[in-house]
Chain A
């Protein structure tokens, strides 16, 4: 069906896919808040939220409702436009990253091949890098516009932290790219489907990437931008109501996306061992593949929470020393070794 030379099926398919991915990341982020509270409680020998609905499963709805109905306060001396722009950017950027993650293999519906990836761009990883580093603008603008010294301090911290940790993250990824020879996430997954998972070849690279992912998501032990006891909550100190909710929500979406990314880059994405020997139909294969990726992602999210409730926060100079003097040299060494091995292998 082509009308005015526009492929309408293509448009509908993409719109459905985009809404699906968006709803998925929002729902996962919503239930991450519930999961976070449950994991925190269990680790501290408590029960966690269990009053709203069975096992407290309605708790995220109650929290969201509370945030929506709270009073909206914009400080008098803040920059009103930027104050609203901050959480909007944080949320927008968090939702944009999911576009290049391949959620499953292609499925066939009524003779049409549908790729379960919003955009299979050939620079997928670069896109994610570009978009994720935009996320710090939300924090920076929000913190600066609040006209509060604690918020400003927190946003300066966030900016320098994300710049510092983007470098080792990028270096760790370069080693991975040498191995795979492509920037497209879909191809990286297909390679892992044929061979071994990348974490086998790049254990150090994965470790560096993992640590940097924690720092990029502002999660403990690198949650200095929102250090409650030093900065009264950090960059979202002056925020209330759903604008605060957007900041917190963006953090959970980022956590979900970076978990999905780590699963895709290093743990085979939607590929699982022996998936081609099961003899399933193409659609069933895509479905099980999606489930595999989802389970991997959930395990990573659990890992994020587990670490949060185990490790205390770094001091700021320790954070910088770890970033610049440990992770960057390690990532460089990893890159050089990978490069040398690749060179030897191809000659």
Chain B
């Protein structure tokens, strides 16, 4: 039979030699290996002090984007909610009133926009589905919390800061 790789080795069923039966050489060899590991570089990253860089395609917590004038881009079309395989996104649409043009870019906007981070599987389909470039996935992840309530992120948690009002800081 042809093997998948050339690395397969037949099982050695010969009876053990005297040296092998003594175990001591094998144990000494093993202890040499562990002693070597004692002085090797450790794989641990001391997390809160040192942070590892995420990969450029990392999909973390969502953010709701604004345009250059600080208006919300989301138009509450619901495509992200449809695309979401975990059904983590819910939203309620509302009509933009006259005088609110500086707040919302389109005539329709999301009055309520919630993502349940416990349901979310961070697949990034919402990001792909969004026609308005409103939903993006950032490079942070959800912190630990004591209650489930805290994992339902509303608009105030998701929206990025307004570049018009908070850029000076």
- Which residues of A come within 8 Å of B, CB atoms? 39, 41-47, 50, 306-307, 309-311
Contact = CB atoms under 8 A, between A and B. Distances in A.
Given A42-B37, A306-B35, A310-B34, A47 B27 contact: no
A46 B37 CA distance: 10
A50 B38 CA distance: 16
Interface residues of B, number: 15
Contacts of B35: 306
A309 B35 CA distance: 10
B36 to A, nearest CB: 9
A306 B34 contact: yes
Contacts of A41: 42
Nearest to B33: A310
Contacts of A45: 37, 40-44
Contacts of B40: 45
Contacts of A47: 42, 44, 46
B31 A42 contact: no
Contacts of B37: 42-45
Contacts of B85: none
B30 interface: yes
A43 to B, nearest CB: 5
Contact of B34 (A46, A50, A309): A309
A42 B42 contact: yes
Interface of B: 27, 30-31, 33-35, 37-44, 46
A306 B43 contact: no
Given A306-B34, A309-B34, A310-B34, A46 B27 contact: no
15 contacts: A42-B42, A43-B34, A45-B37, A45-B40, A45-B41, A45-B42, A45-B43, A45-B44, A46-B43, A47-B44, A306-B34, A307-B31, A310-B27, A310-B34, A311-B30
Contacts of B43: 45-46
A46 B30 contact: no
A223 to B, nearest CB: 16
B38 A310 contact: no
Nearest to A303: B31
Contacts of A310: 27, 30-31, 33-34
B44 A46 contact: yes
B27 A311 contact: yes
Nearest to A312: B30
A42 B46 contact: no
Contacts of B34: 43, 306, 309-310
Given A45-B42, A309-B34, A310-B30, 16 more contacts: A42-B38, A42-B39, A43-B34, A44-B37, A45-B40, A45-B41, A45-B43, A46-B42, A46-B44, A47-B44, A47-B46, A306-B34, A306-B35, A307-B31, A310-B33, A311-B27
A311 B42 CA distance: 21
A304 to B, nearest CB: 12
Nearest to A45: B43
| Top 7 A-B residue pairs of the complex, sorted by shortest distance between their CB atoms | A47-B44, A310-B34, A43-B34, A42-B38, A45-B43, A310-B30, A310-B31
A41 B39 CA distance: 11
B169 to A, nearest CB: 34
Contacts of A306: 31, 34-35
Contacts of A43: 34, 37-38
A39 B46 CA distance: 18
A44 B43 CA distance: 9
A146 B139 CA distance: 52
A338 B39 CA distance: 40
A311 B31 CA distance: 8
A168 to B, nearest CB: 16
A44 B40 CA distance: 10
A311 to B, nearest CB: 6
Q: Which of B30, B37, B38, B43 is the most central at the interface, judged by chain A CB atoms within 10 Å of its CB?
A: B38
A259 B127 CA distance: 63
Contacts of B39: 42
A128 B119 CA distance: 62
B83 to A, nearest CB: 41
Nearest to B35: A306
A39 B31 CA distance: 13
A309 B42 CA distance: 16
Nearest to A308: B34
A42 B36 CA distance: 10
Nearest to B37: A43
B21 to A, nearest CB: 9
A307 B35 CA distance: 10
B22 to A, nearest CB: 9
